[in-house]
Amino acid sequence: MSDVYSFPVRTIEGSDATLEPFRKQVLLIVNVASKCGFTPQYEGLELLYRKYHERGFAVLGFPCDQFGHQEPGDEAEIQKFCSLTYEVSFPMYAKIAVNGANAHPLYQYLKKAQTGVLGTEAIKWNFTKFLVDREGQVVNRFAPTDTPAKIDADIAALLH
């Protein structure tokens, strides 16, 4: 695949899709989990989405159960949790693997485009964030400990 928009994905409702509808938008792609110490970041992610959505920004959530079995539910349970607990309105997708032989092709692409500490590609934990500019370039990778508030300025700079 030549860009982030081409990869086949499945929405949390079960429909096949791509990220093509988000072309020319700034994206924050995040592997999320409902039972993680970082789960409260859903609140900050939603705040960013609401703050910048009309300026061409989207948060895309990809649930993952590869870290400490912190996303045990199915898509319906995940969607209910996100809606009721954090009023998530940004797009959510079906549960995926982000590491290993079964890593989703989108995440294989993201990890190659922006490696982690010391050049490692592996995702270390839930709530790793990839920032994509309007041209589809993966411009930054943020650790789970980087809160949504901390990366607000990075997003704003890309929305100029």
Residue 97 · residue 103 · CB < 8 Å: yes
Instruction: Note the pLDDT of residue 120.
Output: 80
Structural domains in the chain, sorted by start: 9-159 (3.40.30.10)
Question: What local confidence, expressed as pLDDT, does residue 72 receive?
Answer: 92
**Marked catalytic residue, from 26, 36, 92, 123:** 36
pLDDT of residue 108: 95
In the DSSP assignment, the letter for residue 132 is E
Residue type, 71: E
Task: Please compute the mean of the pLDDT values over residues 96-115 and round it to a whole number.
Answer: 94
**Mean confidence (pLDDT) of the chain:** 94
Active-site residue flag, 36: yes
Residue 121's pLDDT band, with cuts at 50, 70 and 90, is confident
CA dihedral 138, 144, 150, 156 (to 10 degrees): 20
What separation in angstroms does the CA of 67 have from each of 22, 23, 25, 89, 111?
28, 30, 29, 24, 17
pLDDT digits (tens, 9 = 90+) for 45-94: 999 999 999 999 999 999 999 999 999 999 999 999 999 999 999 999 99
